[in-house]
Chain A
Amino acid sequence: MTRALRIGLLRLTDSAPVVIARNHGLFARHDIAPEIVLSPSWSNIADGLAWKTLDAAVIFPPLAIMTALGRRGHAASLRPLCTLSRGGNTLVLRGTNPLATPWPAGAEGRQAFDRWQQSIGRRPRLAVVHMYSTHLLILRRFLGQIGVEMDSGIELVVMPPADMISALADRAIDGGCVGPSWGTEACLRGLGFLVGGSSTVMPFHLEKLLVISDRIADRADRVKAALRDAVAYCRAPDNRHALAQELAQPPEKGGLALPARATLATLDENTTPEPVTFVAKEATHPDFAWITQDMLDLGWIDEDERQILGV
């Protein structure tokens, strides 16, 4: 008997396809025995891939790239299997929005930032979920659009997505860029307001993909088929309520203990400007081009490595 496929993920709406594929027997239908490893941090995902405690993971491209390049101390033979989600990241700040809307690019956005910064009375502490995240790239681009330097204009901190709720409540951070459904949850609780996110910076960008180790390449097609079925379920508007309820269940009952109302909101473009769009397809060259360009600009990779990646 083949051993269970260990798939790492975090408590996020866009982990849904893997959870659904397991809970609804879609992996089993394709003769895959999954073991979901609910991880407390992105470092655990990266180390799990690098040091063989995971066979696959739901992950964002920058961290997958850095892991594959051996930045966890051990070159990992990884391959992107398919996309899982696009968009869905939110930029949330605490306090009061000086504008009644998300912030526009240019001088008007800068004025809003300055007025907001004055109201909080310090250089803003903004959180991202990992150093090598799409969230950091989106935050950096957003700040660039309103003329704020990330290095000097803010203090950048790193914390897991679910921790941002209490950090906002305690004023340990002044905002951050976070994945679904945590930004929406912060807004629903009155802890913050939305100034932008995926759609204002890089609409429909690749957010989560499933990467697999070369060790399980023989099972790749079956895993992909199961995830396509799961994504079809997650995309159907009629399934939104059931999906949100399922993800809200505690892990011992097959869920991710996500906040139900916020999770439902993240599934519908009518209830949030930053919805999650589930897509199970091949990642394309443009999906990676802007990401690797930004990684190059930030000095995370060099031109040779970008060439090696072939993106």
Chain B
Amino acid sequence: MPIDNPSDPLGRTARPPMTVLVADANTRRARALSDDLRADPSLRVLSVPAGTALIDAVRQHHPDVVLVDMGRADRDALDSIRALTQPALERPVALFVDRDDVDLMETAFDIGICSYNVLEAPPDDVKPLLRAAIALYSRFKRTRGELTEAQRKLAEQKRIDQAKRLFMKTENTTEDQAYRWLRRRAMQESRRIAAVAADYLAAHGQGDES
């Protein structure tokens, strides 16, 4: 488990670092969030290794705050710590809720991140952590959306190229003529060229190859 111990270059006595456990099955995002948080020297940032149950990581490391990707199904176990008899867990945790900032909470749940606090010594500075996590998750969501769009465009272009090659072969035409044929069909049918290309490939038994 990676652990960062912040050190004060001036040798000042600082208050003990707040330990934050990042629990995200998406390893790239977990690493990015951990890196963001480590920029703050007052934080000691841990992450849950793949294959380790969230509740076991909490038992082992006693974090002050747990940032949890809501896609993790084992979050249910963490939810139950307060109510279950758990002698192995000395410090119970509870879902962090900011009743004064409903928008923050709704945004967090909507984007798929939530935070848990240690009950016996609840830290004061959870909101900035949650905001940092929301910002990171938003960035990943946006990047994923852009990636999906880029992949869609690439797949469309591949389909059009395949259809052109097939048309050139079966109709004995040039590439330019093949493209003009696809474009004309698309205009006549008020459809995208990629959709016409997909239909053409399917009609010739080459659908779903891209």
Contact = CB atoms under 8 A, between A and B. Distances in A.
A130 interface: yes
A156 interface: yes
A51 B76 contact: no
Interface string B75-86: 111011001110
Contacts of B73: 40-41, 159-160, 162-163
Contact of B95 (A73, A156, A159): A73
B70 A44 contact: yes
| Best-surrounded residue of A43, A53, A151 (most CB of chain B within 10 A) | A43
B106 interface: yes
A41 B68 CA distance: 13
Interface string B44-88: 000000000000000000000000001111111101100111000
A278 B83 CA distance: 31
Interface stretch (B97-105, B134-142, B170-178, B202-210): B97-105
B181 interface: no
Interface in B106-158: 106, 109-110, 114
A157 B76 CA distance: 10
Nearest to A54: B109
Interface residues of B, number: 22
B70 A42 contact: no
Contact of B76 (A53, A74, A159, A300): A159
Interface residues of A, number: 26
Nearest to B79: A43
A125 interface: no
B5 to A, nearest CB: 32
A220 interface: no
Contacts of A287: none
A187 interface: no
Given A53-B110, A131-B80, A131-B83, A74 B72 contact: no
Interface majority SS on A: helix, strand, loop or mixed? Answer: loop
Contact of A131 (B70, B79, B95, B106): B79
Contacts of B105: 51, 73-74
A160 B55 CA distance: 13
A51 B95 contact: no
A131 to B, nearest CB: 4
Contacts of B99: 73-74
A225 to B, nearest CB: 30
Contacts of A42: 76
Contacts of B77: 157-159
A151 B75 CA distance: 22
A48 interface: yes
Contact of A130 (B79, B102, B114): B79
A19 interface: no
Nearest to A156: B84
A43 to B, nearest CB: 5
A159 B84 CA distance: 13
A154 to B, nearest CB: 10
A160 B76 contact: yes
Contacts of A47: 70, 95, 109, 114
B106 A52 contact: yes
A126 to B, nearest CB: 12
A129 B76 CA distance: 8
Contacts of B71: 40
A160 B76 CA distance: 7
A164 to B, nearest CB: 11
Contacts of A140: none
14 contacts: A41-B72, A41-B75, A43-B79, A47-B95, A51-B109, A73-B97, A73-B105, A74-B99, A74-B102, A129-B76, A130-B79, A159-B73, A159-B77, A163-B74
A-B pairs with lowest CB-CB distance, top 5:
A73-B97, A131-B80, A40-B73, A51-B109, A160-B73
Interface of A: 40-44, 47-48, 51-53, 72-74, 129-132, 151, 156-160, 162-163, 300
